[in-house]
Amino acid sequence: MDSIVVTGNGPLEGQIPIAGAKNACLALMPATLLSEEPLTLTNAPRLSDIKTMTELLQSLGAEVSSLQDGQVIAMSSHNLSTTRADYDIVRKMRASNLVLGPLLAREGHAEVSLPGGCAIGARPMDLHVTALEAMGAEIELKDGYLHAKTNGGLKGAVHTLGFASVGATENVLMAATLAKGTTVLKNAAREPEIVDLADCLRKMGAQIEGDGTSEITIQGVDRLHGATHPVVTDRIELGTYMLAPAICGGEVECLGGRMDLVGAFCEKLDAAGISVEETKNGLKVSRKNGRIKAVDVVTEPFPGFPTDLQAQMMALLCTAEGTSVLEEKIFENRFMHAPELTRMGAQIEVHGGTATVTGVEQLKGAPVMATDLRASVSLILAGMAAEGETTVSRVYHLDRGYEQVVRKLRGVGAKIERISNS
């Protein structure tokens, strides 16, 4: 199993290109199931989760090709062979459940295994199920599979989500494009990935209004056609690399970065003493002066502070002046990186969904273990600012969400290498 070795090496300088969004791409790919015509995605990230979704779509009979070194994904679902999404594939990644809505809308039936993914909370499917049931689906859980069918197709409905779930919003959004009549989804998620999916579906002929707000209206159409669509910039990768110069010092330009994708995050950086400037090519980040200041963080659905940047932000605040309080309101079990940061000299106390971080002047390198995707990169960031050498093990999590992380960080002066232990 591979590990990553990081040595504190001072300020960073240069540019980091930001990839297309993993979470957007994983929702866009199942949209191919809605049409017999080709769907092509550009600016695709090169990640193991994308390979897993490719494998899942191919298992259903879709044709999926990776072009231009993986940055273009060409898909066609003109000849689906099955509507059963098997456990052996679905268990690897929770986003696999996004085939449920499209299959149900196009074929009228589907069998989808309950999904897997990171161990950071239960992430139940009940929000997906109740929304699709409101549209006339009959869904039964049997032997670990959701067995779904419709009687004459899905029908438009007015439905309010119990929680502004991104995945449930995406599943309903895709399903409703081919439903009979109008669907109004209330308390919908507002994330940029939702807007990106809606943009793509509109290119395919869908009639959608209100994406980016809490109420989305979808007028069903008889069929969707093919399209070509660029994947939106990954705001989580963007935020992660913005933290690199914040932690280490120096100045880094994140190419492709957009302020509107990370507004709440930028507000916290500003309060901590980090400068973020828009450039013609992206966002330029540097420390204003001196030591980072403590700030309090509460994770919230978009446009609030992203839960997927909480671990990385904690790494920054470990060396801040003063005491910070981080409150996790999205997922339970999401402070598993805290004990590992403590091994590096951080002072962190966790009580339920709240972590209190008292800044220290210097972290110390240590052997640490990644517990999930975002935790793994938070430990790398901490290691870049620590004195001595940090070895991060179990970095297979990293490959699910960050492409070429070693190459990108080396490019701005970090001392980092990946070691194969096999």
**Active-site amino acid positions:** 118
Query: Does 149 count as an annotated binding residue?
Result: no
Query: Does 22 count as an annotated binding residue?
Result: yes
User: What distance in Å separates the CA atoms of residue 357 and residue 338, rounded to the nearest whole number?
Assistant: 9
Q: Which amino acid is at 376?
A: S
Residue 355 CA: distances (Å) to CA of 17, 65, 296, 325: 32, 44, 10, 6
Q: How far is CA 203 from the centre of its chain?
A: 23
Query: Does 94 count as an annotated binding residue?
Result: yes
Query: Does 69 count as an annotated binding residue?
Result: no
Query: Does 23 count as an annotated binding residue?
Result: yes
**Contact 204/227 with Cβ under 8 angstroms?**
yes
Query: Does 125 count as an annotated binding residue?
Result: yes
User: What distance in Å separates the CA atoms of residue 111 and residue 102, rounded to the nearest whole number?
Assistant: 12
Rounded (10°) CA dihedral 251, 254, 258, 259: -20
What lies within 8 Å, CB to CB, of 66 at 6+ separation is 54, 72, 73
- The SS3 assignment for 36 reads coil
User: What distance in Å separates the CA atoms of residue 60 and residue 19, rounded to the nearest whole number?
Assistant: 27
Query: Does 45 count as an annotated binding residue?
Result: no
- Strand-pairing partners, residue 74, are 40, 65
Query: Does 296 count as an annotated binding residue?
Result: no
How do 215-219 and 207-209 pair as beta strands? antiparallel
Q: Which two tokens stand for residue 168?
A: 């449930």
CA angle 98, 102, 105 (to 5 degrees): 145
| Binding positions | 22-23, 94, 123-127, 308, 330
| Binding positions for phosphoenolpyruvate | 22-23
| Binding positions for UDP-N-acetyl-alpha-D-glucosamine | 94, 123-127, 308, 330
